[in-house]
Amino acid sequence: MIPPRALLLTLALVVAPMAPSRAATLDAEHAQLATLAGHWNVTQSMWTSPGKAPQVDRGNAVVTPVLNGSRLRQELHIEAPGKPFDGLGYFGYDNARREYYSTWMDINFPGMIVASGDFDAANARYTFRAMVADGAKPGAQIPLREVLQVIDADHFRYDYYENHGKGEALAVRLDYVRAD
């Protein structure tokens, strides 16, 4: 005889996956974000000095819906010579604040970037803004802007800008091409 607790647990494990998922009833904002889910080939261009050509490296990203499709989790890996790069981020929409947000952590930055912004439907463009600690000047903050441009169903671009007091400059560009 199966103990009642074990039977309930077994039923929960069997029935839960059959229950309708919230992903099928996402609001427009979350449904739009969900189109970015998938496996992506990524080309990273990184500018380390003004006026110099960027360092270009290649890698991949996996963008996965999480928490019933209400957020996207991005795992990014870039094969940079001598120093591979790994990062982890989330995109989402906050229904209470009526704004989009982005979080980012990676192996080169000890903190976490938390940015918020909006979506320009006419240009298929998400824009996020935040302040990040300036590692060269303890206590100082650097304004940043992130722009995620949806080009089509199989391409999007992410640009990361920083302002170190001399105007905004593009620091990193990631070009995504769907791999699946």
Global pTM reads: 0.82
Specify which residues 102 forms β-bridges with. 91, 115
Euclidean distance between CA atoms 148 and 172, whole angstroms: 12
> Residues 165-169: what's their mean pLDDT?
89
> Residues 24-45: what's their mean pLDDT?
87
Query: pLDDT per residue over 65-119, tens digit each?
Result: 999 888 999 999 999 888 889 999 999 999 899 999 999 999 988 889 999 999 9
Mean pLDDT, the chain, as a whole number?
85
> What is the band of 13 on the pLDDT scale with cuts at 50, 70, 90?
very low
| Three-state secondary-structure class, residue 166 | coil
Pairing mode of beta strands 125-133, 109-120: antiparallel
Residue 160 has pLDDT above 90, yes or no: yes
Walk me through the domains of the chain, giving residue ranges and CATH numbers: 26-178 (2.40.128.20)
Residue 21 has pLDDT above 60, yes or no: no
Residue 152 has pLDDT above 90, yes or no: yes
